[in-house]
Structure 1
Amino acid sequence: MDKDSLIYVAGHKGLVGSAIKRQLLKLGYNNLVYRKSSELDLRDANAVNQFFNEERIDYVFLAAAKVGGIVANNEYPADFIRDNLLIQSNVIDAACRYNVKKLLFLGSTCIYPKYAPQPMKEEYLLTGALEPTNEPYAIAKIAGIKMCESYNRQYGTKFISVMPTNLYGPNDNFDLETSHVLPALMRKFHEAKVNKKREVEIWGTGSPRREFLYSDDLADACVYLMNIYEESAIVNIGVGEDISIKDLALKIKEVVGFEGELVFNTDKPDGTPRKLVDVTKLTGLGWKASTLLDEGLRKAYNWYLKNVEVKNLNV
């Protein structure tokens, strides 16, 4: 990408999109375009085509998506599959129609089978059944991957797909009903500390293992791959290490400064037993994550205090 290329960051207000925006500006890419969802509904094909026709965009980072944790995926499966299929189909098709030079599609490691061998290699896609709790979301993301591959094959486009592991960082979703495990735990511990509670309930047994990547590291990898990678085959983005939910909770408890006890509600679902991605391909391409989990948790909690907690106090 040239520094003056017109770059569209779809989903620039979210966890991933805002990190990509920060990274692009940091590297001197100043010709950026973005729209709030209230200004451009990416589920509306006519609106998307009109936007691409008017802007004549060079590069697209497709970070816009309907996302959520176990609760949200269980409660709103139709919304997750419908909205994500519409968003990615409209943007990918318009990118082809209006001659975008390159598009990067952000998938998710939930595309891999529930019982995939660990760590999960890119070739494990479509080799087994998915985790039922987020199957509609995963199927939408798989469709996005296959759409990029198909457009490359039929139309000669340069659309690449990356599969980030579990993410956290600035602009994360801290809503306890719809968030992922890390921000949900951070908020639970913080509120328990403020309200002087003696314990915090954690869903499941605490035994599942997860990998966590700081959002600014993901953004760095995405811009790096946009500049050097041109194959249709997907690329995992992660740190190559995982941690149990129990140990993660203990780390967050320490960062927040909560002094009570952890109580595990084993009536609640654990989800996939383990999710760790194989990052051999990514490291072979010359990129490696730089933010350690302890450092990332401190940064994320500081952001929470300055943004989410301040808002709550001012309501």
Structure 2
Amino acid sequence: MEPKPPYAVWAVTGNGAALGRKIQNQLPGTDLYLCGSLWAVEKQKAGEGTHGFTRLSEGLSVLFQHYRSHVFIMSAGIAVRTIAPLIRHKAVDPAVVVVDDNGRHAVSLLSGHIGGANALATTVAKIIGATAVVTTATDVNQLPAIDVIAGELGLAIENFDAVKSVHMALLQKRGLLLHDPYDIIGEQLPRRFIATKIDLAETKPDGSMAQQPGVFVDDRLVDLPADILVLRPATLAAGIGCNRNTPGREIRDHLLQVMDTHRLALGSLTGLASIQIKQDEPGLLETAAALGVPIRFYQPNQLEGVEGVRNPSAVVAKHTGVSSVCEAAALLAAGRGNLVVPKQATPNVTVAIARIAFTS
């Protein structure tokens, strides 16, 4: 999947067009969209990246999810009414910033944290000499935003509703439970906000602790209270071997069953790996595409002799030239990490899972 273009700026007046050009000149990758009357005047001299639109609602119906961020130089009311039918969820919606026609204020309107609208409002304000307006409670109270921390650290948010519970606890000065066995969050969440460090994979919160919001950073599947925010680190790699022309669904089903049986989170899966002779195997490519993760293929000399292989096979060596495919590939893809699930086999598919080297 190709990355989305970064910015679209929308203007409906001459002042707006001038502000939009300032933004476009300072933010690489910005597309400037001008309404029909402005476009009729500007199109002869417009450079690459400047476009016209007839109706804002029609243009956005196609382009709203196409960009990572939008800047509307117009009234907030127009922007709100136009984007309202297009909003899906904070996990996927683009950042939206609104700038008034005189360029006095740059307002973060939508996806302030995860989408980056708060940061974009500040950037746009600096470019045009405006005041950035940010209204998210954590920001105005100078508190850490857990969804921003997760994004910066590459942690996948599994249960978005729990973000509210964590932020409310911070606003109310209630300490959080923290399960972070690999110290991935580190100092990003200052210790004064943490009431208790606890291994939630082994200890169930009880009493008053059962109602206490918290943060769980781990690749293990654990049954947790709804107020515990689950953040998945990118820690797991799956090595896969298969018979020729094994269907993608069969490969995927076995992988998912293995992960579920061993209580490992799909959200922590960084990618798949196999042997080079399988680089054109349709089922493997389909599985990677369906899961939205990359797949890498290793040469036999890279796989042979990898330390940590538990189940070498003479049969595998006869067909591939190496004694291990799935376990060795998983270990290599994990940076020669730890094999947490040794080879699990069906008649057509073998799967092994390794945890990347910086964890234990």
| Structure with more relative contact order (C-alpha pairs < 8 Å, separation 6 or more) | 1
The interval holding the TM-score normalised by the smaller chain is under 0.3
Structure that is richer in strand per residue: 2
- Which of structures 1 and 2 has the bigger CA Rg? 2
Length-normalised TM-score, structure 1: 0.26
